[in-house]
Structure 1
Amino acid sequence: MAAGADRQQEAAVVIIGAGISGMCTAIDLIKRNNCRNFVIFEKSGGPGGTWRDNIYPGCCCDVWSHLYSYSFEQNSDWTREYPGQEEILDYLIGVAQKYELYRYIRFNTSVESAQWDDAEKKWKTAVKVTGSHDAEFGESYTLTSDFLVSAVGQLNVPQFPNIPGLDEFRGTTMHSARWDWSYNLEGKRIAVIGNGCSAAQIVPEIVKAASKLTVYQRTANWIVPRGDAPIPSFKRALYKYVPPIRWRSRADLMDIRESSYAAICDHHSRLAEMWMDLSKGLMKAQLPDKPELWDKLTPNYPVGCKRAIITDDYFPVFNQEHVSLETRPISKITEKGIEVDGKESDCDLIVLATGFRTVEFMHPIRITGSAGRSISDIWAKGGRALYGITVESLPNFGMLYGPNTNLGHNSIILMIEAQSKYICALVAEVLRARQAGKSLTITPKKEKLEEYNDELQKKLNTSTFAHPSCRSWYKNEEGVITNNWSGTVIEYQKMLERVRWTDYELSGNGADEVPETSLKIPRVVEETYISYTMLGLGIASILAVGAGWALRSSGRLRVR
């Protein structure tokens, strides 16, 4: 071990993951807690999380670009209304560079396990080094910390389908989240298994090169228009040099997205009916000569039960002669291709657009909490957490994008920022005790956690997410909705505006110094808070300053 490496085996805070959540938490630790004694473990070779892992053709975001950035680091330079993967990754890399996060990240380092030590009141996180970046620490080591933060998210471990013969196929198989760009698609016979968001982005791109393309669809999806377009340079300049315009635009976009919540939570709402009519109209307009496909491409469940797909170019693919849609179940995969009802179709490439292992939060990391309780025991009936952040029997632990915090209508970054601030408020108390030479453990009360989740599930069970006619990645095998939040972003943010210490069991010799009153955490208000009057005054003041500068400059010129 290199000299001085001993001190690198201990930190105040360990963050797992250097994606949007992990970076946000790190920045908040620096800005809000003045804490730099933390380590970020990242299994990949760079920051970006899911936007580094998913590099398939056509990969992009289904949230408007000006909503898909941190509120404190808004990007004026998005080139399109909906950002592509490369542009999002560039943005995240730029954020990591600006806030000097690279010094805290240990890349190519995967977390194997994390165990709470009841005696030391510390987390012991065991990692395996898969690259040379951390060679000075050895191939594996354990790091001790006062607080542990999971920022691994829900969309990071690929889900492979349970289809007989999948391993027997002699052609090429690739999952959408593990795309191999060295493979030449030109002239290939391609089968795409799955027709969700990833497939809807991949298919219109690879169809250009394929000699034959078959989409294997288990269930149809509701598809609504995307309306993507380039953002002209003059508009980008306005966003950059007249920030109130950017703020106003972002507020408008958030208002629109928040108002769409009714469409995905209540299938009896007028908005839900409008979305379904819009989807059917789009399909028939884009496939006017394919009425035989209309029934196959129309879902038998209400909009919102599964994530709606936002795209303009998926339906038109099926107008092409070399493209077919297969809705019968796959019997098995053979050495040469895919068999359906006893008939085999040969192919060169099978694309698995089958999503992620979403209900197994933090998989495959082995987490062990107080009294030796494993996460598999704690979550035997499905993942659950207090406010989606803190977990029973896991002291001094917080997670971002955890159970019941996913959205179907708005930007997840809006949720992540609220979670990050809340976690940093918990961390602040633990660090305060540490600095005083004392210890403090914070664990959610079981009765509070159960009360919160009972109310949450009661509301979710009346939503479209619970509709019996569809399967989705929002639910576990028992049908419990483990992934989605039950309300709007604003409702969630307001819930996290305060840390109520009565929600928690506080122990250790530093517990007596925690204030009895709840802790206020001012939220970032991003809905309509900049009125058009304010916007006009802001622009007027900028113009006035500009005019004054111009007059002074011209005056100086005349004197000369």
Structure 2
Amino acid sequence: MATRRSHTNTPVLIIGSGISGICTAIDLIRRNKSHDFIIVEKGSQVGGTWNDNKYPGCCCDSMVPFLYLLYKAVFYLDPLVWSHLYSFSFDPNPDWSREYAGQEEILHYLVNVAQKWGLFQKIRFNTAVSEARWDDAEGLWKTQVQVTGDKEAEFGKEYTINSQYLVSAVGQLNVPSYPELPNLDSFKGKVMHSARWDWSYPMDGKKIAVIGNGATAAQIIPELAKICNTLTVFQRTANWVVPKFNTEISEIRRKAYRYIPGVRKAHRAKLMDIRETIYQASVVENSDAKAELKKMCLALLEEHLPDNAELQEKLIPSYPPGCKRIIMSDDFLSTLTQPQVTLETHGIKHVTPSGIVVEGNTEHPVDVIVFATGFRTLEFMYPIKIYGKFGRSLANIWQSGTRAYLGMTVESLPNFAMLYGPNTNLGHNSVILMVEAQSRYISAMISTVLKASIRGEKLEIMVKAEAMAYYNKDIQERLKLTSFANPACHSWYKAADGTVTNNWCGTVVEYQQRASNIDWSAYDMTGRGAGMANKEKKLHIGRVVEESQYAKLAFWAAPAIFAACMIKGFVTS
């Protein structure tokens, strides 16, 4: 009787088909010349967070526009296309329609990339991972999956996939976070999370409450304000806001990017330069660039809220820019001045069947509650249970803090790696640049394991506990000096004790350089294939160099650029 061993056995299993999963799969094809892998995806489409988040106004954003003003002031550059950096270097998209592409356009791009590289035949949709356990005797990962699609579940709701290597591409932004509001169950209206938007529910003419005022809320609020009866925004803490300049990209420019690759590459290089320069203003504490950024934000408040000192005061944060994610919007602040919109800064006491009561016992009548409260970012890989060498759980490994070597490999987990893991998020640049560096590194690790397998040899690669501890100590010491660690604010970047668990401490280029070599001395390598792998102390894998020649000069010249910009009147004091 014939069997389909490939259904439950694969050299490489990738969890997730978002940006990280797609990138890893393509690198296995490009670099390892291998199509022998499986991708499991709990959703019904590729795209990860761009498939999950379909709320009104959802689009690409990152904190870069104010540097655009500076560069234009000094170098007289034309507008730069930020969306061009939010795409794979090996598969660029010349046809972005706007400076910041919307969710549908980004998802369309990712679907096309997956289709182009033949990934759909490798992806098992509606397949959620419940547990992954390393089998010491067999030297394999045994991953339990659950099929959630009704028809597919008829043929086997649960099964186990065996793999030589396991890759987590679940990311940091995949499990919605819901606040605990007293008596929420008593509410008779509609409740939804921004990452689980219900487009079948008519919002027109409703009394709407938005809980939260971060980056997601800033995109939703202007859209809901256009159709609501009333809109109440419940703000816990204020956020710094910078302009977005989200204009259309002309057909002429798109044709230039499409037919003249050098033009597109030059623009991408300029984007890389500008974003790396932003590190000074966004991350470095007490820098001149940060001081100028604060002045710009305050000037924007005055511009959008003239003669409204009371509202301005509510919207001025008590912490420096960069401590939390900076909001990019051209219409968020002005929306808050509209007569049907109320900014509520009192804490929520409880929910009633028809509204929300705040401190002082004021009740806001509400038909719909929208949670724009982000994700469970501190619980990496939640709710998947991971068990490594000798049955040690990931919960046990991380009981004293979430950490990973280069944000990718974890002690006691052989032949395992993760993308967009601990301390790999950014506050100044495109995360895709980090993901590509990680994918290249992980593909080289996988190649080493699979080459040993081809020779009929077992090989287990596991980061040493001391290497992971030393690495984590180093970056945490640096992170303590950054804006992310500032005690004046609470953010999804850090744990309750103030430890920054999500963000990287340096620039993208620095991370790329550190991930451009595999230092085998940081790893325990066991099995018959270990001898071959240990011949070199370091394996050079390189990196994609996208910054231009003047990137370093621009980085260190940021204060001078700000000064020149002020002289030209682009930033007011």
User: If the TM-score is normalised by the length of the shorter chain, which range does it land in?
Assistant: over 0.9
Does the 8 Å CA contact 1:191/1:351 hold for their aligned counterparts? yes
Does the 8 Å CA contact 1:216/1:325 hold for their aligned counterparts? yes
Equivalent runs, 1:184-263 vs 2, <5 Å: 184-263=202-281
Paired with 1:31 and 1:369, the residues of 2 have a C-alpha distance of 29
Distance 1:530 1:66, change over 3 A: farther
Tell me whether 1:519 sits opposite 2:539 in the alignment. Answer: yes
Paired with 1:199 and 1:147, the residues of 2 have a C-alpha distance of 39
Paired with 1:277 and 1:5, the residues of 2 have a C-alpha distance of 64
Structure 1 counterpart of 2:50: 51
Range with greater deviation from structure 2 (299-308 or 474-483): 474-483
The one of 475, 480, 491 aligned to 2:510 = 491
Tell me whether 1:104 sits opposite 2:116 in the alignment. Answer: no
Equivalent runs, 1:131-530 vs 2, <5 Å: 131-132=149-150, 134-135=152-153, 138-341=156-359, 342-514=361-533, 515-529=535-549
Amino acid at match of 1:454: K
Does the 8 Å CA contact 1:107/1:134 hold for their aligned counterparts? no
Structure 2 counterpart of 1:543: none
Deviation at 1:497, TM superposition (A): 0.8
TM-score (norm 1): 0.93
Equivalent runs, 1:84-103 vs 2, <5 Å: 84-103=102-121
Deviation at 1:521, TM superposition (A): 0.8
TM-score (norm 2): 0.91
Amino acid at match of 2:144: A
Paired with 1:275 and 1:163, the residues of 2 have a C-alpha distance of 35
Tell me whether 1:41 sits opposite 2:40 in the alignment. Answer: yes
State the Cα deviation string for residues 66-102 of structure 1 (Å, max 9, x = none): 1000000010000001111000000000001100100
Range with greater deviation from structure 2 (294-303 or 283-292): 283-292
Paired with 2:217 and 2:397, the residues of 1 have a C-alpha distance of 34
State the Cα deviation string for residues 431-487 of structure 1 (Å, max 9, x = none): 011111110000001111111000100000111111111000001122211000000
Paired with 1:154 and 1:18, the residues of 2 have a C-alpha distance of 14
Structure 2 counterpart of 1:545: none
Does the 8 Å CA contact 2:211/2:371 hold for their aligned counterparts? yes
Deviation at 1:411, TM superposition (A): 0.3
Name the SS of the counterpart of 1:267 in structure 2: coil
Taking only aligned residues, the RMSD between alpha carbons, in angstroms, comes to 1.3
Range with greater deviation from structure 2 (124-133 or 476-485): 124-133
Deviation at 1:134, TM superposition (A): 4.5
Range with greater deviation from structure 2 (125-134 or 497-506): 125-134
Does the 8 Å CA contact 2:513/2:543 hold for their aligned counterparts? yes
Deviation at 1:522, TM superposition (A): 1.5
Deviation at 1:333, TM superposition (A): 1.2
Paired with 2:407 and 2:6, the residues of 1 have a C-alpha distance of 33
Distance 1:123 1:133, change over 3 A: farther
Structure 2 counterpart of 1:11: 10
**Aligned residues between the structures:** 530
Paired with 1:472 and 1:206, the residues of 2 have a C-alpha distance of 25
State the Cα deviation string for residues 328-351 of structure 1 (Å, max 9, x = none): 110111111111122222100000
Amino acid at match of 2:159: Y
Deviation at 1:264, TM superposition (A): 1.5
Name stretches of at least 5 consecutive residues in structure 1 with no aligned partner.
Answer: 532-560
Paired with 2:447 and 2:387, the residues of 1 have a C-alpha distance of 23
Name the SS of the counterpart of 2:226 in structure 1: coil
Paired with 1:207 and 1:297, the residues of 2 have a C-alpha distance of 18
Deviation at 1:6, TM superposition (A): 3.2
Does the 8 Å CA contact 1:247/1:530 hold for their aligned counterparts? no
Does the 8 Å CA contact 1:192/1:213 hold for their aligned counterparts? yes
Look at both structures and tell me which one has the larger radius of gyration over its CA atoms.
1
Name the SS of the counterpart of 2:336 in structure 1: helix
Amino acid at match of 1:17: G
State the Cα deviation string for residues 217-238 of structure 1 (Å, max 9, x = none): 0000000011110000000000
Structure 2 counterpart of 1:542: none
Paired with 1:3 and 1:81, the residues of 2 have a C-alpha distance of 53
Distance 1:52 1:318, change over 3 A: same
Deviation at 1:319, TM superposition (A): 1.6
Does the 8 Å CA contact 2:194/2:372 hold for their aligned counterparts? yes
Distance 1:333 1:136, change over 3 A: closer
Paired with 1:7 and 1:316, the residues of 2 have a C-alpha distance of 56
